[in-house]
């Protein structure tokens, strides 16, 4: 996350000590502090809201002519084009397959690239000992033993076609709800 630093009334040492304390704080403590700060002044609220939320209409997209019918352009339960959509929505979502954060403003048609992963639940590798037979998850093994891998997108076996590149899709279970 990039921040713009302005000349501070605090010394570089004081600033670094605060940054160290922030870096060592638990995520829960940082969330609680951010919630508290956002309610202490209108300017804090506006700043935090501007960083974490989108204004209505920001995500409106015109369907391009090359867009497939099955390409899902929505990133959440609500589209900016829906009349009952909330006034603001989250700018950052958690991707459903890898649990990593992504910015919905930069979620293009081919943002998400799927790859093969080792299929440990399949009996294909039951007798494979990495100490004797070598590492399982290598480009050579993926090419030679496709049936021992699965596509992360659809769980098809590696020898079958995997899914195409798509937009990121949010993990609805990772979203905060009230």
CB 81 within 8 A of CB 60: yes
Tell me if residue 170 falls in helix, strand or coil.
strand
> What's this model's pTM, rounded to 2 decimal places?
0.53
Tell me if residue 96 falls in helix, strand or coil.
coil
Q: Residues 44-56: pLDDT tens digits?
A: 999 999 999 988 7
Give the Cα separation of 166 and 118 in Å (integer).
Answer: 22
Q: Residues 55-90: pLDDT tens digits?
A: 877 776 422 323 444 444 444 444 445 555 556 788
Scored b (16 or more CB within 10 A) or e, 21-30 reads eeeeeeeeee
Short-list 119, 124, 113, 115, CA closest to 149: 119
Q: What percent of the chain has pLDDT over 90?
A: 24
């Amino acid at each position: 996350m990039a921040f713009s630093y302005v000349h501070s009334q605090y010394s570089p040492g004081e600033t670094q000590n605060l940054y160290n304390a922030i870096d060592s704080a638990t995520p829960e403590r940082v969330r609680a502090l951010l919630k508290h700060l956002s309610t202490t002044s209108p300017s804090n609220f506006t700043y935090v809201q501007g960083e974490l939320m989108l204004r209505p209409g920001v995500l409106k997209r015109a369907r391009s002519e090359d867009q497939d019918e099955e390409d899902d352009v929505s990133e959440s339960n609500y589209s900016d084009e829906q009349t009952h959509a909330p006034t603001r929505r989250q700018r950052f979502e958690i991707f459903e397959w890898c649990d990593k954060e992504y910015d919905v403003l930069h979620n293009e048609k081919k943002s998400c690239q799927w790859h093969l992963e080792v299929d440990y639940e399949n009996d294909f590798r039951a007798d494979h000992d990495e100490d004797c037979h070598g590492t399982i998850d290598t480009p050579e093994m993926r090419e030679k033993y496709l049936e021992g891998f699965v596509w992360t997108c659809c769980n098809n076996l590696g020898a079958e076609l995997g899914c195409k590149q798509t937009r990121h899709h949010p993990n609805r279970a990772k979203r905060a709800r009230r």
